[in-house]
Amino acid sequence: MNQQLLQIAKDFGSPVYVYDSEKIIFQYNRLTSAFKSVKNLKLNYAVKALSNISILKLFNTLGSGLDTVSIQEVKLGLTAGFKPEDIIYTPNGVSLEEIESAAQLGVQINIDNLSILEQFGTKHPNTPVCIRINPHVMAGGNTNISVGHIDSKFGISIHQIPHLLRIVENTNMTINGIHMHTGSDILDIEVFLYASEILFETAKQFKNLDFIDFGSGFKVPYKEGDIETNIEELGEKLSKQFNLFCKEYGKELTLAFEPGKFLVSEAGVFLAKVNVVKQTTSTVFAQIDSGLNHLIRPMLYGSQHEILNISNPNGRDRFYSVVGYICETDTFANNRRIPEITEGDILCFKNAGAYCYSMSSNYNSRYRPAEVLLHKGEAHLIRQRENFEDILKNQVELNF
Ligand SMILES: Cc1ncc(COP(=O)(O)O)c(C=O)c1O
């Protein structure tokens, strides 16, 4: 594998994102089989995690749906060949106009505040709507990605259900789905099951449901021996709860999830070249040809991506702080043990499939990297590296 990655860095240049379709398919099938006892299961891949159109097309071949959060993601999904009914649109804080545009495209609308629910229901009583509930559960690996607690901006509070029901009655709209997403990197499946019970209790108050969407937030391992959400155990327990609920409800509902990280995080690596090895009085820095403009997760969430020196995998371990070339502190690893690094070596950052390229920017007027998909043993370029024209593309130059 290392040789293949080195060859990709040589052929396509660095830095470069590389994704493995086999791993994506493996994770998709793993999740599906964990919930095999549920009759109607729908996995809606969370586009935000990795939104390259070739990745979306790959998910389409698997029978996946899509979870989208912006009208642009909806359009990307449709362009990738998804049917509108296989796309759920879950925005937060967007205008009524944007929601109406998405509804016109025929996708499933998911609304997370009472103001828009009332406005939308009044104007479009015949468009069924899903509602995003805030179950007031603290879950997630970092405060920025804990979104189901009482102070969160997401979802409609479970305590506001009576108000919500009055809106539904007054507007004559139909609620066909109920949804929650409490956070990312949820380790404890008990938290998940507890939040699900709250969702079932809420669901009983709606008579026309077709599906219940449990969001996502599964934690994936970041290094060997790392703990992860026990999907198989969650599948067994939640399926049981869900099937019981359906019996009580009197209808075979669809159980939906919208995983991002679980499906693509481990499938991706980020390759960057070491420009400079800099010894200071206290530290040895390995400075790569990248920075927070390409991979911001360590700075934003404190995520610790495993870093391999694929140019010298059997070298003697030494301590390095791996940093970028950006004009502010962009530390990927602090005094980390890595096989001896020489300038020109290629470092491989693991877990680079989710929220890496999709959060990249042109900060410092740098180009965004290329993306490559390894599929059936072959490396395919699925996004070109940007160039100087891209930097200037939308700028309007005044001549003084
Ligand atoms: C509404 C919603 N659904 C799904 C996801 C995907 O979460 P994850 O990548 O943890 O699976 C997110 C992530 O932010 C989200 O906000």
CATH code, 271: 2.40.37.10
- What pLDDT score does 153 carry? 85
260 & 271 share domain:
no
Task: Give the number of other CB atoms < 10 A from CB of residue 395.
Answer: 7
CB of residue 352 inside a 6 A radius of ligand 1: no
Structure tokens at 374: 């390894």
322-372 per-position pLDDT tens digit? 999 999 999 999 999 999 999 999 999 999 999 999 999 999 999 999 999
The beta-carbon contacts of 237-240 under 8 Å, at least 24 apart in sequence, are: 237/189, 237/193, 238/35, 238/192, 238/193, 238/196, 238/214, 239/35, 239/36, 239/37, 239/38, 240/37
Q: Clarify whether residues 178 and 60 are in a common domain.
A: yes
Considering only residues 66 and 219, tell me which one the structure prediction assigns the higher pLDDT: 66
CA atoms within 13 A on the CB side of 97: 0
Same domain for 276 and 196: no
Domain of residue 333: give its range.
Answer: 2-16+267-382
Residue 206 Cβ < 6 Å to ligand 1: no
Residue 25 included in any domain: no
| 26 within some domain | no
Rounded distance, CA 45 to CA 67, Å?
Answer: 6
Is 328 annotated as a binding-site member? Answer: yes
CA 49 to ligand 1 centroid distance, Å: 8
Q: Are strands 331-339 and 307-309 parallel, antiparallel or unpaired?
A: unpaired
My answer on whether 182 and 303 are in the same domain is no
Question: Which of 229, 264, 299 marks a domain boundary?
Answer: 264
Does 259 sit in the ligand 1 pocket, CB within 6 Å? yes
- Whether omega for the bond prior to residue 221 falls within 30 degrees of 0, making it cis, is no
The residue from 229, 248, 264 where one domain ends is 264
Predicted local confidence at residue 143, as pLDDT: 57
Q: For 269-317, what is each residue's pLDDT tens digit?
A: 999 999 999 999 999 999 999 999 999 999 998 999 999 999 999 999 9
pLDDT, residue 139, reads: 57
For ligand 1, atom 1, name the residue with the nearest CA.
181
Q: 231 and 336, same structural domain?
A: no
**What pLDDT is stored for residue 144 in this prediction?**
53
Q: What distance separates the 2 farthest-apart alpha carbons in the chain?
A: 73
For the Cβ of 215 lying below 6 angstroms from any atom of ligand 1, the answer is yes
Identify whether residues 206 and 337 lie together within a single domain: no
Report pLDDT for 148: 59
Q: 80: CA distance to ligand 1 center in Å?
A: 20
- Could you tell me if residue 143 is inside a domain? yes
The answer to whether residue 280 is domain-embedded is yes
Q: What is the CA(385)–ligand 1 centre distance, in A? A: 27
What number does the ligand 1 atom closest to the CA of 184 have?
10
Residue 157 β-bridge partners: 134
Find out whether the beta carbon of 216 lies less than 6 Å from any atom of ligand 1.
yes
Decide if pLDDT at 145 tops 80.
no
Is the C-beta atom of 46 inside 6 A of ligand 1?
yes
Across the range 94-120, mean pLDDT stands at 97
Index of the ligand 1 atom closest to the CA of residue 265? 9
Among the ranges given (85-94, 146-155, 324-333, 375-384), the one the predictor scored with the smallest mean pLDDT = 146-155
Average pLDDT over residues 99-105: 98
Judgement on whether residues 214 and 321 belong to the same structural domain of the protein: no
To test ligand 1's pocket by mutation, which of 181, 218, 257 has the most ligand atoms within 8 angstroms of CB? 181
- Within 10 angstroms of residue 283's Cβ, the number of other Cβ atoms is 13
- Asked whether residue 290 is domain-assigned, the answer is yes
Q: Given the CA of residue 262, which atom of ligand 1 is nearest to it?
A: 11
Question: How confident is the model at residue 146, as a pLDDT?
Answer: 56
Q: Name the residues annotated as catalytic.
A: 327
- Rounded (5°) CA angle 180-182-184: 125
Ligand 1: which atom is nearest the Cα of residue 263? 11
Report the separation in Å between the CA atom of 297 and the middle of ligand 1, taken as the mean of its atom positions. Answer: 15
The answer on 155 and 292 residing in a single domain is no
Tell me, rounded to whole angstroms, the distance of Cα 350 from its chain centroid: 16
Parallel/antiparallel/unpaired status of strands 268-279 and 346-349: antiparallel
Is 320 annotated to bind a ligand? Reply is no
Name the closest-CA residue to atom 16, ligand 1: 181
Give residue 231 CA to ligand 1 midpoint distance, Å. 16
Tokens of 386: 């940007």
pLDDT of amino acid 224: 81
Predicted local confidence at residue 137, as pLDDT: 79
Domain identity same for 356 and 242: no
> Would 320 be classed as within a structural domain?
yes
Select from 230, 248, 264 the last residue of a domain: 264
> Any known ligand binding at 301?
yes
Q: Mean per-residue pLDDT for 26-49? A: 98
24 lies in some domain: no
What mean pLDDT is reported for the chain? 94
Indicate if 194 and 245 belong to the same structural domain: yes
Tally of structural domains, the chain = 2
pLDDT of residue 192: 85
Stretch 3-26: mean pLDDT: 98
Is 363 marked as a binding-site residue?
Answer: no
Q: Is residue 390 part of a domain?
A: no
Residue nearest to atom 15 of ligand 1 (CA): 181
Whether 247 and 294 map to the same domain: the answer is no
Pocket test for ligand 1, best of 87, 152, 258, 297 (most atoms within 8 A of CB): 258
Above pLDDT 90, what percent of the chain?
88
Q: Is the pLDDT of residue 54 over 60?
A: yes
Percent of the chain with pLDDT over 70: 96
Residue 142 confidence (pLDDT): 54
User: 174-232: per-residue pLDDT in tens?
Assistant: 999 999 987 766 778 888 898 899 999 999 999 999 999 999 989 999 888 888 899 99
Tell me how far the alpha carbon of residue 184 lies from the centroid of ligand 1, in angstroms: 6
Length of the chain: 400
Kindly state the DSSP code that residue 386 receives in the 8-state scheme.
P
The CATH number of the domain holding residue 134 is: 3.20.20.10
Residue 217 is assigned to a ligand binding site = yes
- pLDDT at residue 187, rounded to an integer: 73
Collapsing DSSP to helix, strand or coil, 334 comes out as: strand
Residues 314 and 257 occupy one common structural domain: no
Label residue 316 exposed, middle or buried (CB < 10 Å: 0-12, 13-18, 19+).
exposed
